[in-house]
Every structure is written in structure tokens, then in C-alpha cells.
Structure 1
Amino acid sequence: MLHLAIADDHELFRKGFISMLSGVEDFSFVHEAANGQELLDMVEVQVPDIVLMDLQMPVMDGMQATELLLEKHPEVKVIVVSMYDEDRFVMHMLEKGVHGYLLKDTSPDEVEKAIRRVAEEGFYYSDFVSKAMHRKMVARSPNKQPFFPNANNVGLSNREQEVLQLLCDGLSTIEISEKLFISTRTVEGHRLRILEKTGTKNTAAAVAFAYKNHLI
């Protein structure tokens, strides 16, 4: 059973979201909060597996709530569900360590897919997020940001850079293992070394780091 929580100041959206996913047998909503502070208080009573987080809320917004939540409970996965479709919001939240970013008009099927992928792999990139990261990368001028084709600046090996590229493409651990003909344990080992060398908290943050610093 996946224990979920949602934080959004619009009650109609919260209720609709919960209703939309109520038919999924292994999904259980344990918290429903109207702002970030309310969510943090609830988490102290029971820690959920995944939090669906809005960004704009009164009292405490989703950005601050995400930072405080991941600082105290790094095991919790956070998926942003927002109306903000600007690239800067996407990149900022990925750099903060969120595990996925969805728009509020996302289909129910993709929401379920995102929750399951985050639970299993630790991240989920929709087409929207992938395009946002690509636009961010293209927009950066080489004159303003150095380009490191072999990621030598953080000491990534050729195989680690290859795994990082596939993570940026949105492939799962199993898909990467099949593509590179290596075991899933080996893929996980490469992933952990990538996090260590880039100084990032999770795969989503590592991908954001890679695009921001032209490591791929």
C-alpha cells in the first residue's frame, strides 16, 4: 500500500484529486492539507510515502514546505502538482530535490504512472519536464556557462556519464540495465556514485544538475 498525502489550498481540487485516485487499490490518502505548514504538522503524526505538493499556498507555500519536509524526512518522495508551467519553476524544484513535476491538467493515467514510477525508481519525468530541461539547456550560451562534453569537472566515468544520459532520457533502472547489458545492481551503483559526485540528493536533482551544467 502506498500512503499518499496532498497539499493544496483549493479544497475542490484536493477532493477531486483524491476521488480520481480512490479507485486505485494500493493507493491510500493519509493526509489532506490546505497549506505547507498544515502538511508538516500532519507528517509528524504519520509519515507518508509520497506527497503531492502544490506550489502556491497561504501560510507556507510548497517551495518552503518541500525544503523543510525533505530536510527532516529525506525518505519522503515529493511530486509537485502545479499550474505553473514556466521552465524556471520546474528547474528550481528539481534542484530542490523533488522527484517529479506534474501540471494540474495532467491525465489521471499519467498521475498514477508518475506515482508508481516515483515509488519504484525515485523519479518521474513527463514530456513537459523533459522539454523544459531541454529548453533550459539550449538557452544557455556556451559563453556564459562552460560546456563539459565528458563531465570531467565532476569526475564522472564514461559509464557513469552514459547512465546519467539515460536517466535524463527518463529510462528506469531496468530499462537502463537492458540497454547497457548490465545488472540492475550495477546500474544502481552507478546512480549512487553520480549522486555523490554531483553532490545531489536524488536522481531528479542529478538530472537537473546535469542540464544546468551541461554534463550531457
Structure 2
Amino acid sequence: MRKIKLALCDDHNLFRVGMASILTQIPDFDLILEAANGQELIDKIARRMPDVVLLDLQMPVLDGTATADYLREHHPLVKIVVLTMHDEDRMVLHLLEKGVSGYLLKDSDPEEVEKAVRKVIDEGVYLNEFVSRAMLRKMTNAAAAVKPASTLYNSKILLSEREKEVLKLICEGLSTAEISEKIFLSPRTVEGHRLRILEKTGTKNTAGMVAYAFKNNLV
């Protein structure tokens, strides 16, 4: 059984101990390192690389946002799931645009944390109801303030009708396999559309692409 290697970065020792206890009870999760701030995480990652980092935002020495920037630049294959008390829409979208794969609040159920880890490993992004609501509010505000969405396709990027359809389904949280079944395309073709959307939007991963889509009213 292949284990998912995890890193946990949070400056609150009590929370970190509790979360570590939860994670180590999941048979295929391997908590390979813990850190109290971003700099400590970076130092430890140099010796052992995780698949997923569970990252707090507000920490001393090096905070979560700066740590996410470093990881995206130097270790782009590592998935980042933010685990924080900050629930501002602006922060959610800002971090997703940076390439963070998931955004959870610290009062989330342990089952959701497990689900998020598995989802970012399998699909590259985890969009829960909290994130989806933040994106919807952003889209609603943008629609009221700017030109209709149809003109945005021309002024910002040009997507084919099929690419728009695939993008909409990705933003709804569907996996490649689910999109393939829904619109009767092979998974390989769906993945090809996803890669072209990434290229056209200038984003680095699925999470950034979804955030870009909502920010620019593309769905």
C-alpha cells in the first residue's frame, strides 16, 4: 500500500499535536514531519519531501503565505492544503490563485481533512462548500461591477465552447473521470482540454485555474 506522505506546519503546539494524532490513525497516511513555522518546514523539507503540506497561515518567522510562495516556486509538485481560522473571501481566492490546492477552516471535521488530502492527490484541487461560496460571492460581485461574462471571454482569453464546458465542470468540483462520463469524452481528451485552459489562463495548476475563472467571471 502506497502511503501519502504528509507535513504539518502550525505554530500552535496543542492544535498540531491533536491534528497529528488524527492523521496518524489513518492507515495510508504517513506524517513524515511537523514544523512550528514556515522556515522550519522549509529546512526539514530539504531532507524529506512530503506529498501534501497542511499549512497554517499566521505563524512567526515565516508565515503561511510566504511559505506557500516558496513551495510553489521550489517544490511545485508538493500539494498545499491551507488549514486556518481566516475565513475572508479575499484570502481564499488569493491563495488559490497562488496555487494552493485546498483551503480548510480549523473547525472542519477530521473526515473533511482526510477527504481534502485524498482529493488533492487524485485531482489536484479540493473545493469544499466554503470555498465554493467564496467564489460565488466573488463572481456575483464581479458580474455587478463589470461587463457581462460574454464580453470577458473576448477581452481576457478566448476559450472554445468545449473548453468553457470543461472549465465549468472543473469549477463544480468534478474529477476528470466524472467529466469524461458526463460529456462523453475520453479522459485523455478531457485532460487535454484542461491543459489548454491552464495555458490560456496562464495558471500553474487546477486550483489556480479555478480561482482565475471565478475572479474573471469566466463561469
TM over 0.5: yes
Hey, what does 1:168 align to over in structure 2?
171
Equivalence for 1:135: 137
Structure 2 partner of 1:148 = 149
Letter in 1 for 2:36: A
Which residue number in structure 2 is paired with residue 183 of structure 1?
186
Give the whole-Å Cα distance in 2 for the aligned partners of 1:48 and 1:68.
15
Counterpart CA distance in 1 for 2:207 and 2:171 is 9
- Match in the other structure for 1:93: 95
1:86-107 alpha-carbon deviations (Å, 9 max, x no partner): 1011011011110000000111
Query: After TM superposition, which residue ranges in structure 1, 4 or more long, deviate above 2 angstroms?
Result: 144-153
CA distance, structure 1, for counterparts of residue 149 and residue 131 of structure 2: 23
Contact 1:146 1:213 in 2 (8 A): no
CA contact (8 A) 1:100 1:124 kept: yes
Letter in 2 for 1:156: L
Segments of 5+ residues of structure 1 without an aligned counterpart are: none
Q: Letter of the aligned partner of 2:182 in structure 1?
A: K
Across the two proteins, how many residue pairs are aligned to each other?
215
TM-score where L is the length of structure 2: 0.95
Determine whether 1:198 maps to 2:201: yes
SS at match of 1:200: coil
Which residue pairs with 2:69 in the alignment?
67
Query: 1:210 is matched by which residue type in structure 2?
Result: A
Deviation at residue 146 of structure 1 after TM alignment: 3.5
Aligned letter for 1:199? G
Provide the rounded CA distance (Å) in 1 between the counterparts of 2:146 and 2:61: 37
Task: Please tell me whether the aligned partners of residues 7 and 34 of structure 1 are also in contact (alpha carbons under 8 angstroms).
Answer: yes
Cross-structure match for 1:207 = 210
Whole-angstrom distance in 1 between the partners of 2:146 and 2:73: 29
Give the fraction of aligned pairs with identical amino acids, expressed as a percent: 58
SS of 2:150 mapped into structure 1: coil
Residues 75-90 of structure 1: matches in 2 within 5 Å?
75-90=77-92
Q: CA deviation at 1:31?
A: 1.2
Per the TM alignment, residue 141 of structure 1 is displaced from its structure 2 partner at its CA by 4.8
Q: Secondary structure of 1:91's match?
A: helix
Maintained 8 Å contact 2:54/2:82: yes
User: Which residue does the alignment assign to 1:24?
Assistant: 26
Instruction: Tell me by how many angstroms 1:72 deviates.
Output: 0.3
Deviation per CA, 1:24-54, whole angstroms, max 9, x where unpaired? 1110011100000110111111111000000
Cα 1:41–1:145 shift into 2, 3 Å: farther
Q: CA RMSD in A?
A: 1.2
1:149, distance to aligned residue in structure 2 (A): 2.4
